[in-house]
Structure formats: structure tokens, C-alpha cells
Structure 1
Amino acid sequence: MFTTRPEILGTFGVVTSTHYLATAAGMAMLERGGNAFDACVATAFVLQVVEPHLVGPAGEVPGVFYSAKTGKIQVLCGQGVAPAAATIAHFRALGLDLIPGNGLLPAVVPGAFDAWMLMLRDHGTMRLRDVLEPAIFHAESGHALMPRISNTIAGLKDFFETHWPSTAEIYLPGGQVPAARKLFRNPRLAQTWRRVLAQAEAVGGDRDRQIQAARDAFYRGFVADAIDRYSRQAEVMDASGRPHRGILTGDDLARWSASYEDPVTLDYGGGEHRYTVAKAGAWSQGPVFLQTLALLKHADLAAEGPNSAAFVHRLTEAMKLAFADREAYYGDPDFVDVPLAQLLSEAYNGPRRALIGERASLDLSPGTVPGYEAQRARVMDTLNRLSRVTEIGAAGNEPTLAEMRAAGTVKRGDTTHVDVIDRWGNMVSCTPSGGWFQSSPVIPELGFGLTTRAQMFWLEEGLPGTLAPGKRPRTTLTPTLALRDGRPYMVFGTPGGDQQEQWQLLLFLRHVHHGLNLQEAIDMPMSHTLHFPSSFYPRDRKPGHLALEESFGREVIDGLRARGHAIEEVPAWSVGRLTAASLDEDGIMHAAATPRLMQAYAAGR
């Protein structure tokens, strides 16, 4: 089969990410004797510099990983929580029905930095300086700015200059839009990392003490102080059309730390092999992937071509059911009782499976779990009142700015991804996101802005996603690890908000059922649906929607339209930013990255 590039094969180590400079930094850690965890952390910090429209230092990250030393698969939770002052009453007093998608109000505790420090301390081998130096270099000395970033800045120039001058100071140097493929620097961010590093190394040569000092500098030191000051004092425009101050405080940061937890898993048969897929819990959308597999359990997917209308239809309809259950039941398990065992069971999915017919469903239909009938009714009432039904082609679905929406243009935030496997068999999959420069203004002393993940909460009582202080928003971020015949085998993921599970399922099922290698599966035409409510402000949904890359071909597209799908044809090579890596039993490693947007790359040897 034709592919845009070779699937990388190696035996020493592989790194794949959504930007080639970040992949190179991760590979450099492996070459210097570091392990997969060192490489992942270094890759992630570079992504914050070279993809600032997709991730920032004050964002969040979930990870799922296998440690060869412990023999365990764990989830890394770097999803920060809502501030202590984040109450429904506070937002209602501001006259809001939904939490804005940008500005300072939707900020939660930045989770990524502590998560990276926790991973580095517990599973890495290198020093903080080693993993920070590549990011500091690219922030200080500069990097070639991607065209997509330049275009995003150009679309927001007036908004930044009028409403977010601290962002304009960095991203409009000299009052001009920085040119694509020309040198761009963020020296203020480099200064922040140098200051963190200096405070870390001031405690002496002990590696663990240095990492703890860095955590203290961020969550209880000068970084937290700057965040607290700016949040209290600045009043900035947001998507509500009015300026607001933030509610995140230094005390919120000081009280929080990243953590580990067990993954949620599902066993799945695929031809001659048995797979076990591991995901983060119901504070993410990860179980949607698992439930979709459960709904497809008895389908003969191997008999349906990987590009066929029958394959895309069956997968889309199964995902509609799983995403409907996401809306009705998912939330932070520390606050709500999520019936995951039932949602993933054959007893529940058997009747649900029977709902998949030959025609596209236009309904949002969560299943009914005994004991949760009242909750389901409240969720459906809220969605009917507050989620906005839009037509295909209408603006929406990702975080947007009110002024941009009024002008008819959309500048979307998004996400990044990293997968690493090393020669010892460690595997890491992480999906860093949040803190985009177009979602929250730059904090002047730091060179970066805050995450806006609180927009995923509802300001309605009695829902699994109801806002509460100290609660994790139900994130869309969802890295994946799969075992094959009981052995850790594959790590993969993608940016894309609500589309993350959808594109990952296409990759996984094509690889498992149709025998495509990782690069072949990634290069095939991609699809997704916006049938269910978006996780992002203003919570749009498009019943029956199905986006298809035109490379599916006329016969498949027309076949899906004939089944009742509301088709949105999109250009070839425009959907999905998948990366993946795997390890065979004989020690051969595989790695691949999407050619879409022409910046994701895999490397290895």
C-alpha cells in the first residue's frame, strides 16, 4: 500500500510527536542514555515552545505508561482541578449560563508541570537541566514558526492589540505578525525556565531534591505568585463579550499535585491476537474508546474494507452511542459515581448494539443504567436547553473568541501528542494540551497563559459534569496503551478535542483487523462525527453529522450519504494528527506520524 513516508523500524528506541523538533529532542535523550520517560518529558517541553497555539506550560496532561522496572501500567493524571472559588453561584452572579471558552474565568490549576516532574522523578533517570535545555534553547535562540501559528496570530492581531496587550507583546513583536518559517523567539518563557532551573539547582546536586525544588518554584513560588497576581488584578475580555477577572489563586496551586492511578481496561479480540486496551478513567473521555470496542465486539470488521462505507457507518453509529453515554455518566470519579462497570459490560452493550441499524441515527440516545434514571433525565434536559444545534459548515466545536465568531472566522485551540518506547521496553503515551496563546492572555512575567479547561463544566446542579471546587473537568485528552496477547505492545494518540477517540479508533481497528502497519493506518482517509454536544464552549452539536476526507472517494461518500449521514466533505490530508509506536515480541520497534499539517514526525533507530 502507498504511504507518504516509511514506518520507522528500530531496536534501540523510537519517539513520535506532533512536531519534528520535539521528536528530535526526545530522541536526543535516548541517545544520551535516557529512558522513555526522560524522552517524553523533554519532548513535551519543546512542544510548549514550538506549538504554543496547541499547548502551553500552564496546560494539562494525562498519560498512560508501562514501566519495565515495575511491570505495571499506570495512568498519570496531570489534569488540574477547579479553583476553590469556582462555584455555580459565582458564575451565575456574573450572568453566565455557560463558562466562557477563553480569558481568565475558565482557568483551572495548571497540571502539566507537576505531572512532568512526577514522571521524571519516579521513572526517569536524567536531571532537570537535561530535559529542559532543548526547550530553553528553542525559546531563547528561536525556531522556525509554523505557517499555522503565523496564520492564527494574524487572525487575532486586532483582538490581541485591543484586549490582550500582554499577548501582543510576545506574539506581535514590533507590532507585526511574525512571518511563517522565519525565526521566532519567546525569551520571557526561556527566562522563566532558567529561573526555575536556578532555584532547583540551588538546593544542591541531589536529583530528587532539585525536582522537588522546581515543583515548589512553580506551585508555591514565583510562578504561582505571578499567576495569583495577574488573576486578581487583570480584567480581560472573554467569549462572554465582557471583561472578567480570574478566580484561580496561588493557594489553589499550592494545594494540588499530580498523581497516578490505575487504568480502565477492556479486552478485545482481533483476528489471531487478543488485545487489552488501557485508558484513563471517566474524568477523561477514554472509556468512550473502550465502550465503542465493546459495541463492536461481534462485528466482522475484517470482512469490511478499511475504507468501506459499511465500516465507517458501523463505527460512527457505535461511537454515537458511546459518546451519548459520556454525556450522561462521565465525570470526576472523586465527586460522582460513574457506573463504568455497567457501561463496559456485555449485559449493557448487547441491547445497545441492537440500536445500530442500516440508517444513520439523528438522536442523542444515552442508555439507561438502573439507579441513574434521574441523572440521565437532568442531563438530557440540560443538553436540550443549552447545547446549540448548528448546521454543517457553521462555526463552532472548538474554543473560539466572541469577536472572531462575530466576524465569521474561527481560530481553534487544539492539542499535542507524544509516544515513546525505549530499549528497555518502557512505553509512554501522553497528550499535553491547554494554555494556548489564543485561549488566555499571557501573564507578563512568565511568557505564557493559563489553561481554560473549566469551560467543560456545566453550571447546572446534579450532573456528572457539574462545576465544583476541587473537581477535575471531564477532559477530552485521551492517550492510549494496548497490550497484545498480554504483552505491552502499542502506544498511540492524537490531538483533536472530541475527535481524539474517533481518529484513534480508525487507526487501531485498521491495524488490528486489516493488517495495516502504523503508517499505512494513519495515512488512510479519516472521518469523524460532531453528532453529540462538543466539550467546548458554546457546546455545539450537529445531529447526523459525518465529516469525511474527500480521499474516501465518491462511491464511499455517496454510499454514506445514502445511509442518512449528513455529510461534510473536507479536503484530503486535513483530518487527524495521529502518532503511534509499537514493540514486537522479537524486539522490533515501529513508529509512525501523520503527514497532515506537515510537522509531525517519528524517529528511531
Structure 2
Amino acid sequence: MAIDGFTTRPELAGTFGMVASTHYLATAAGMATLERGGNAFDAAVAAAFTLHVVEPHLNGPAGDAPIILATAADPVPRVLCGQGPAPAAATIERFEELGLELIPGTGQLPAVVPGAMGAWLTLLRDHGTLPLRDVIEFAIGYAEHGHPLVPGVARTIATVAGHFRTHWSDSAAQWLPGGEAPVAGRMFALPKLAETYRRLLSEAEAAGPDREAQLEAAYQAWYTGFVAEAIDAHAAREVFDESGRAHRGLLAGADLAAWRPAYEPTVSLDWHGVTVHKAGPWSQGPALLIQLGMLEALGELPPHGSAERIHRVAEVAKLAFADREAYFGDSPEAFAAMPDLLDPAYLKARAALVGDSASAQLRPGSPGGREPRLPGFLSSPAALAASGSVADAMTNVEKPEPNGATRGDTCHIDVVDRWGNVVSATPSGGWLQSNPTIPELGFCLGTRGQMFWLEPGLPNSLAPGKRPRTTLSPSMITDGAGGVTAFGTPGGDQQDQWQLLFLLNHIADGLDLQTSIDAPAWHSSAFPQSFTPRTRAPLDVVVEERFPREVFDALRERGHLPVQSGPWSLGRLSAVSRDPRTGVLRAGANPRGMQGYAAGR
């Protein structure tokens, strides 16, 4: 399938600054921050706080925020981990006492330490230049005075309105004003969240005029002060969840007080003249690197848009994500496995498993001679889904079951400034639909703990103080001349499949940022979802219907079960880049979802 050069919008180019995100108001807030003299980190924080207000079905201040950053002074990318760990009371034994085989995806039990706010305050303190007031005022304004509600938020609230009325009255009070679901396009305010942010700002500024002292005071107010106290009281309440029963939470104020976000090195791979940087095995990020290494071992790519390319990429994804299931997690064993998983000889041997026909097997390898072990649940009938049932993990919330089970998604932010600072962040969690609203604060806890396994001895087995193996996966690429590109997408397990397509389009095929984003997309559903109910569809490959019919037919001939998705339905990528040789900055954003935008000059 040839690329004809048409794009839904231009690739932006300039020399001052670029911001791209999944919501145009967040992009505008970030760009306004650059215009007033802030740097890329100030702009990213302003965009992030705004996303808490305008995409509350996709992220919130008590969610998660893994960040990859590079500074003008130190261009080596590194990770700031805004993924909070499991509470001290969260043990496998506790869930066994409750009679649960999987951690519910809603309610109190899957809550982990809220990492997003801590990460953003830390990024602003360490690398920003502006005071908290200058970057949080956009979010306060939209929460206090209202903002035009995008359709995705309205759909989500309407979908879970019955559940709120029946079980979560505090959520109903905030999200169903007058008892009715809000209408897309109309103004919608979050006054309690505005009050929380105003109090946070007040406590920060009470620390005096020093910017860093203010930000530390804000951090303490969140993690040991009034926010932590309200979270502690909220988590002690019994809440109905998707298990069909009510449970108290395991998270406590002491868990918040004991945690700080930390910097760590990226995991990286050299590929096609660039270095691709990802977060460590507590994320799914290294799966992107494994896919790239296997594709490199297989030689020249089949033509762009062909069934042959879709087949090869889908089969490589199956192998990479099988290794994710066997070896990734926040454990010493997972970190020790990384060099062997990325060893060229191992990747070549794995690539040799790609045949002419689709495989339905979940086949982890043996890096460094390790014996692979998959969760026992994956061999049960409950782990298999009907074809087409896990087709799209983008922006729509599925119709909830009687037990209130729903699915949420994610946001993304990329920023680059004229000095050479760059950031890629994938905030998520704290979804309005997955945990009851805390009435004093106006936001919800995250439910990332559902990604842990309750089987002992796995890299991603639940343990107190351990980070869940998240799907959140920001990306950065660098070249030997100082060039840098930051990119990412929402999409749960699909993030590192859709980002792979972007890299193949942009680096291997030489397409610009916007053309690479706009190109038709696909993904495999063959490996287990990271979210409850943890199912997989072994032969499904989901393909946007812009591909011609002969592509679908050829995939069937190879044994795939192609699932036709909407023409613009898979992924919400955004990207920014900087070429230090010319000083030119570039940006692109996805039309899918009809919310994302890039801005710059």
C-alpha cells in the first residue's frame, strides 16, 4: 500500500518550541508556558495538570506518569519514574483470604501509591524554571470555570452513570450534575478539583518566595498533608468493585509518605543509525526494543502496507510480548534478564521462529539459558477471548458489566524547546470510571495494581513496595549528531506495537513525523491483556479498514483472523523532534480520537 503524501494536518516546523499531546487544550497550555519563557519541562507540567481536568477518563493526579527526559546540559535520556508501588498491606496472602484469583480492575483493591503528582512536582523542581502558580493556573481555570467537554468524557460518564447511581454516590455527585450525564461540547467544571489545586498552591506559597521550597511544600502537602489524609480515609471505605462484592482498600497514608519518584537509566538499543530509549522492565517498554532487534535480524522489511509486512511485524510482536509475560516486572531477576533479552544472538534465534503462517502459541524464549515461566492463569480457558473481543484499547470505554467492570486508557505529552530540552511522558490512571471520586479532593485513585499476578514466584507477582509491570511506555530516540525525537501513544498493551509502526515508518521508510503518524495501523491481540480479565485472542490481528481487501484476504491465507477496525481507530501517537545541526524543531499529532494536537513555532 503506497503512501501518497496526504496527511490530515501538516508536520509542524519551527525553531522556538513544539508541544504535542492528546488534547488540544493541554497542548495550548504547554505552548503558552513556552511563550512566557518557560522551558520544555515547565510546559510538560502545565500540559499534564491540564490533562487531569480535560481527560479525566484517561488520567488523573492520583494516577501514574512514567517520563523520559533529556536536558540541554545532559542530552543522555533518562527516566523519571512516576509509577507508584503496591501498598505495604498488598500481599498475595491477603487476596487469597478474599478468595480472588485476579486483582479486580475497579474499586479499592487495585490502588497503588499515586505517582503522577509526585513525578510532575519533581520534574518541575529539578528541571523547570517557573513557579507552581505559573504552570497550574491553566488547570485551575478549566476546573473552576469549566471547559467544553470532549465526546470521550461524555461517553464514558454516560456508560457508567447507572453504576455510579447504584454503587458510587460520590462519583454520581461529581460526574452527574443534576443527576444526568453531561453533554459533549457543553461547559463542564470540576470545582472540588479546583479547590484542591488552589489549596495545594496556597500551601506551596506559604513556604516563602523560594521556588524549590514552594515545590517541596506542595509535595509534602500531597504525600503527607491534606491530600494524603483524605486518601487514607477514602481507602478505608468499603467500595463495590467488579468482583461483585464490596472491599476496603489496602492503600494507606503511610504508603504515600514512604515513596519518592526516582531517576534511573533508560534501557536502549541501537537500530538503523539511532538509539531507541525506553523505561526498564517495570514497564513494557523493552518489548519495543526486542521487536526492533528481531526485525533487524530478519533483514529487509517487506513493502510498506503489504500483508507480508503486517504478518512479519505481528509474528515478531507475539514473540516479544511472550517474553514480556515471562520476564518483565519490578524484580532483580527482570533487570538481570534485560542484557540477555537484547543480545543480538538471542534476537536472531528468536526471529528464526517467524514462519510463513500465523502462530497461535505463546512462546517465550530462554535468554541466557533461563527457563521461561508463564502465569498459570494463562493456560486456563478463562484466559482465551472470542475473536475480535479485544480489538481496540484506545479511547472508548466498553459497556460495563453488571459488576461495574470497565476499561480506561491513557494520555501522552511530548515537548521540545529551543535550548534542546525534551520530554516524553505517558500519564494515565486515576480514571473517573474505575475508582469512586474522593469527595473532598475531586479526583479518583488509580487501579494499576490489577496488573500484578497473584501467583508467587513470577517477575510480576504482587509484593508490597513493588511497582506493577505497567503498559505505560514513553519513547525517545537519539542519533550520534545530537538529534532527538520524543514520541508515544495511549493504548494499553498496544502502545509498543503502534510505536513500532511509527519507527518503521519514520526511520526505516523515511517518512516525516506526521505522515508516519497518519499511516494505516494494525496490532496483534495474541498475547494477554495487562488489564483484568487478562484475556488474549491468539490469532487476531486488528487492521484499520483503510487497507485494501486483498491485504485482509492475504492475512487469512496465512492463518490470521483479521479483525477490521475503523479507518482511523488505532493509536493516538504524537511526536516532536530537534535537529541541532539546523536548529529546526518539528512536531506531529494524531487525528485519531479527534482530540490530539501539536502546536509550535
What TM-score, normalized to structure 2?
Answer: 0.96
Q: Does 1:249 align with 2:256?
A: no
Q: Which residue number in structure 2 is paired with residue 574 of structure 1?
A: 569
Q: Which residue number in structure 1 is paired with residue 242 of structure 2?
A: 239
Q: What is the CA–CA distance in structure 1 between the aligned matches of 2:171 and 2:489, rounded to whole Å? A: 27
Q: Does 1:467 align with 2:462?
A: yes
Q: Does 1:75 align with 2:59?
A: no
Q: Which residue number in structure 2 is paired with residue 358 of structure 1?
A: 356
**Which AA in structure 2 matches 1:160?**
F
Q: Does 1:499 align with 2:494?
A: yes
Contact 1:301/1:513, CA 8 A, preserved across alignment: no
Q: Which residue number in structure 2 is paired with residue 434 of structure 1?
A: 429
The 3 A distance-change label for structure 1 pair 71 and 524 is closer
Q: What is the CA–CA distance in structure 2 between the aligned matches of 1:460 and 1:398, rounded to whole Å? A: 26
Structure 2 residue corresponding to 1:528, chosen from 499, 505, 523: 523
What are the within-5 Å matches in structure 2 for residues 195-214 of structure 1?
A: 195-214=199-218
Q: What is the CA–CA distance in structure 1 between the aligned matches of 2:117 and 2:388, rounded to whole Å? A: 37
Q: What is the CA–CA distance in structure 1 between the aligned matches of 2:314 and 2:150, rounded to whole Å? A: 33
Q: What is the CA–CA distance in structure 2 between the aligned matches of 1:406 and 1:102, rounded to whole Å? A: 13
What are the within-5 Å matches in structure 2 for residues 161-180 of structure 1?
A: 161-180=165-184
Q: Which residue number in structure 2 is paired with residue 39 of structure 1?
A: 43
The 3 A distance-change label for structure 1 pair 502 and 122 is same
Q: What is the CA–CA distance in structure 2 between the aligned matches of 1:242 and 1:396, rounded to whole Å? A: 28
Q: Does 1:25 align with 2:23?
A: no
Q: What is the CA–CA distance in structure 2 between the aligned matches of 1:354 and 1:388, rounded to whole Å? A: 27
Offset at 1:20? 0.2
Deviations 1:112-171 (A, max 9, x none): 111001110111100001110000000001000011211111111110011111111110
Offset at 1:55? 0.2
Q: What is the CA–CA distance in structure 1 between the aligned matches of 2:510 and 2:369, rounded to whole Å? A: 42
Deviations 1:63-122 (A, max 9, x none): 111111233311010000000000011111111010000101000000011100111011
Offset at 1:485? 3.0
**Which AA in structure 1 matches 2:276?**
V
The 3 A distance-change label for structure 1 pair 242 and 357 is same
Q: What is the CA–CA distance in structure 2 between the aligned matches of 1:588 and 1:139, rounded to whole Å? A: 35
**Which AA in structure 2 matches 1:589?**
L
Q: Does 1:549 align with 2:548?
A: no
Q: Which residue number in structure 2 is paired with residue 330 of structure 1?
A: 328
Q: What is the CA–CA distance in structure 1 between the aligned matches of 2:375 and 2:366, rounded to whole Å? A: 12
The 3 A distance-change label for structure 1 pair 468 and 363 is same
Greater displacement, 511-520 / 292-301: 292-301
Q: Which residue number in structure 2 is paired with residue 405 of structure 1?
A: 401
What are the within-5 Å matches in structure 2 for residues 275-354 of structure 1?
A: 275-301=274-300, 304-333=302-331, 337-354=335-352
Structure 1 residue corresponding to 2:582, chosen from 576, 582, 586: 586
Could you say what secondary structure the match of 1:405 adopts? coil
Contact 2:399/2:406, CA 8 A, preserved across alignment: no
Q: Which residue number in structure 1 is paired with residue 420 of structure 2?
A: 425
The 3 A distance-change label for structure 1 pair 397 and 305 is closer
Offset at 1:413? 0.3
Deviations 1:376-414 (A, max 9, x none): 23x25342138610112336886999992359x984300
Deviations 1:492-542 (A, max 9, x none): 000000000010010111111211111111111110111001100010100
Contact 2:230/2:441, CA 8 A, preserved across alignment: yes
Structure 1 residue corresponding to 2:95, chosen from 76, 91, 103: 91
Q: Does 1:596 align with 2:592?
A: yes
**Which AA in structure 2 matches 1:172?**
L
Contact 1:576/1:596, CA 8 A, preserved across alignment: yes
The 3 A distance-change label for structure 1 pair 572 and 397 is closer
What are the within-5 Å matches in structure 2 for residues 142-157 of structure 1?
A: 142-157=146-161
Could you say what secondary structure the match of 2:543 adopts? strand
Q: What is the CA–CA distance in structure 2 between the aligned matches of 1:118 and 1:201, rounded to whole Å? A: 16
Structure 2: which 5+ residue stretches go unaligned? none
Offset at 1:559? 1.3
Contact 1:398/1:537, CA 8 A, preserved across alignment: no
Q: Does 1:55 align with 2:59?
A: yes
Structure 1: which 5+ residue stretches go unaligned? none
Q: Which residue number in structure 1 is paired with residue 262 of structure 2?
A: 259
The 3 A distance-change label for structure 1 pair 454 and 182 is same
Contact 2:106/2:405, CA 8 A, preserved across alignment: no
Q: What is the CA–CA distance in structure 1 between the aligned matches of 2:197 and 2:173, rounded to whole Å? A: 19
Contact 2:207/2:214, CA 8 A, preserved across alignment: yes
The 3 A distance-change label for structure 1 pair 397 and 473 is farther
Contact 1:477/1:497, CA 8 A, preserved across alignment: yes
**Which AA in structure 2 matches 1:182?**
R
Contact 2:397/2:408, CA 8 A, preserved across alignment: no
Q: Which residue number in structure 2 is paired with residue 181 of structure 1?
A: 185
The 3 A distance-change label for structure 1 pair 123 and 386 is farther
- Give the number of equivalent residue pairs: 595
The 3 A distance-change label for structure 1 pair 368 and 417 is same
Structure 1 residue corresponding to 2:111, chosen from 107, 111, 116: 107
Contact 1:240/1:402, CA 8 A, preserved across alignment: no
Could you say what secondary structure the match of 2:311 adopts? helix
Deviations 1:229-250 (A, max 9, x none): 0111x21111101111111000
Q: Which residue number in structure 2 is paired with residue 560 of structure 1?
A: 555
Q: Does 1:268 align with 2:266?
A: no
The 3 A distance-change label for structure 1 pair 540 and 397 is farther
Could you say what secondary structure the match of 1:448 adopts? coil
Offset at 1:468? 0.1
Offset at 1:301? 4.2
Q: What is the CA–CA distance in structure 2 between the aligned matches of 1:567 and 1:450, rounded to whole Å? A: 36
Provide the identity percentage: 55
Could you say what secondary structure the match of 2:437 adopts? coil
Structure 2 residue corresponding to 1:453, chosen from 448, 460, 478: 448
Could you say what secondary structure the match of 1:61 adopts? coil
